[in-house]
Amino acid sequence: MTPLFQADDLVVRYGRITALDQLSLTVHKGERIALLGANGSGKSTLLRVLDALVFPESGTLQFAGAAVTAARFEGREFTYAFRKRVGLVFQNPDVQLFNPTVFDELAFGPLQLRWPTGQIRERVEEVLATMHLGHLRDRSPHQLSGGEKKRVAIASVLVLDPEVLLLDEPTSALDPKSHRQIVDLLTSWSGGEKTVITATHDLGNLEEISDRCFVFEKGKIVKVASALEVLHDVPLLQRVNLVSAHKHTHAPGQAGAHSHLHGS
């Protein structure tokens, strides 16, 4: 079966900084992939490469068997087909949200694709309900809480019903309720309904949101395994700064100091 994404020896540099260092990976249709790594390890850059917002200086990327290159995106037909199938949700929703109301935010993508007005209204209302955003439809996105902004950003991509979702730290800096809502959404896509690639350093819900994990270190993938296997590889998690060990002292009269692992 042709992989959905096939990347070989990708190199991306920002000045003197190497963000991706001869990185290779394969993602099949319907997989839920977690990209794990500390800040600066290359996760966000890879998502931008997979979304064709950044093109590598060397190496190759294919999507559904077709080469993804800057030259291909000069053609309207290829660009339209790719953007309809692949959607990216940025880590910072303020980068993504710019319309006057939540409704307008969700309608923007379909409008660019020239959907019929009736279809746009129906689809936007459907996604507003799914994402529990109906009561915010007339609010400005920039007046919302962090969790609400995240849900609007995700909804603005979901409204197009893309085949592939690329999510950059979707649960970071959220309150517990918003965090759970996003995790439940990611969990709902198990079973191959969508291909979901999530960059995260949150290990708490890893088994719920992923089928396979790619562990990043300095622009390279250093391990590919199930969530359970990765979570049990404590030396690796410590080495790539996903967990830390420190001494912890219990209340007086209890056991003395000993080591605990904590997420970074």
Q: Name the more confident of 208 and 215.
A: 215
246 and 204 in one domain? no
Do 196 and 133 fall within a single domain?
A: yes
Q: Which of 57, 47, 53 is nearest to 9 (CA)?
A: 57
Q: Which residues pair with 23 in a beta bridge?
A: 10
Residues 172, 112 share a domain: yes
User: Which range marks the domain in which residue 192 is found?
Assistant: 5-232
224 shares its domain with 251: no
- Radius of gyration of the chain measured on its C-alpha atoms: 20
Same-domain status, 90 and 167: yes
What total number of domains does the chain contain? Answer: 2
Give me 124's structure tokens.
């936007």
Q: Are residues 220 and 245 in the same domain?
A: no
Q: pLDDT tens digits, residue range 22-65?
A: 999 999 999 999 999 999 999 999 999 999 999 999 999 999 99
- Specify whether 79 is located in the same domain as 154: yes
* Residue 83 shares a structural domain with residue 112: yes
Which of these, 30, 32, 17, lies nearest to 213 by C-alpha position? 32
pLDDT band at 246 (very low <50, low <70, confident <90, very high): low
Q: How many CB atoms lie within 10 A of CB 188?
A: 11
Whole-angstrom distance, CA of residue 99 vs CA of residue 178: 22
Instruction: Name beta bridge partners: 167.
Output: 89, 198
Arithmetic mean of pLDDT over the chain: 89
The reply to whether 24 and 50 lie within a common domain is: yes
* Co-location of 250 and 194 in the same domain: no
Q: What is the DSSP string of 6-20?
A: EEEEEEEEETTEEEE
Q: Which pLDDT does position 198 carry in this prediction?
A: 95
Q: In this structure, are residues 94 and 36 in contact, taking their beta carbons and an 8 Å threshold?
A: no
Could you tell me the pTM of the whole model?
A: 0.89
Say if residue 221 is in the same domain as residue 251.
no
The 10 Å Cβ neighbour count of residue 113 is 12
pLDDT tens-digit series, residues 165-179: 999 998 887 888 888
User: What pLDDT score does 48 carry?
Assistant: 97
Confidence of residue 180 (pLDDT cuts 50, 70, 90): confident
Q: Compute CA distances 196 → 10, 50, 82, 136, 162, whole Å.
A: 20, 12, 15, 26, 10
Which of 152, 175, 166 has the alpha carbon at shortest distance from 200?
166
- Same structural domain for residues 11 and 91? yes
In eight-state DSSP terms, residue 185 is: H
Q: Are strands 58-63 and 66-67 parallel, antiparallel or unpaired?
A: antiparallel
For the domain that residue 108 is a member of, what is the CATH number? 3.40.50.300
